[in-house]
Amino acid sequence: MTLEILNIVSVIIQIILFVALIITVVSLTKYVKLLMVRVDGLQEDLNKFKTSVDPLIEDTRTMIQKINKVSDKVDENFVYVTKTLEKLGNATDDIINFKDRILRKAEPPIFDTISAFAGIVKGVKVFTDTWKSNRPVRSHQHHIEEDNLLFDANGESDFELEREYDDINKELNEVRKKLEEMKRV
């Protein structure tokens, strides 16, 4: 009997194990179904997300293409601006060289003219001063000659001549100062 009991116990244990296996398989099946339902839900959410992301990706591609076009145009414009600035620099240099050439060519004749004019004014002044100092003393005999004089015999005309000489000298000095300022520039 011991063998029979052992046999019966062994059959009972097998039945219990078989039932446990069936319960485990059933519960695993439930978990797999639940997992499948969740995976399906996740897949639907992923499809919805993909549907909403696709236009965003397309818009991003379009934006990147536009950014590349703008970048290319900026590069082209930068090259154009650089060339323009170089041309402007060259034009500025040409203008400065032109101004320097004009000053070099015009300055000597202007100074020569001013010097000659100043010399003429000084010469006339010396002449009139000499003429005044060599003028004969007034007497009744020379009264007839006074009517033929080109200048007045009184001191007013001498004062006016000196004033005119001074004015001319002032103007010449102003011209010299301006030319010296032009030289410095």
Residues 9-52 have pLDDT tens digits of 999 999 999 999 999 999 999 999 999 999 999 999 998 888 88
* Mean pLDDT, rounded, for 56-81: 89
Which amino acid belongs to residue 162?
E
pLDDT at 129 over 50: yes
Looking at every residue in the chain, the average pLDDT score rounds to 81
Tokens 């010299």 locate to: 176
Q: CA 156, 157, 158, 159 torsion: positive or negative? A: positive
pLDDT of amino acid 158: 64
Structure-block tokens of residue 87 = 């041309």
Angle at 102 between CA 101 and CA 103, to 5 degrees: 90
Structural contact between residues 182 and 103, judged by C-beta atoms closer than 8 angstroms = yes
| Distance between CA atoms of residues 165 and 171, nearest Å | 10
Q: Which residue has the higher pLDDT, 147 or 37?
A: 37
pLDDT of amino acid 156: 55
For the beta carbon of residue 142, count every other beta carbon within 10 angstroms. 13
CB-facing half-sphere around the CA of 34: CA atoms within 13 A: 6
Please state which of the ranges 72-86, 108-122, 136-150, 169-183 shows the lowest mean pLDDT: 136-150
pLDDT of amino acid 101: 84
Confidence of residue 61 (pLDDT cuts 50, 70, 90): very high
Among residues 119, 132, 137, which one has the least CA distance to residue 161?
Answer: 132
| Distance between CA atoms of residues 94 and 87, nearest Å | 10
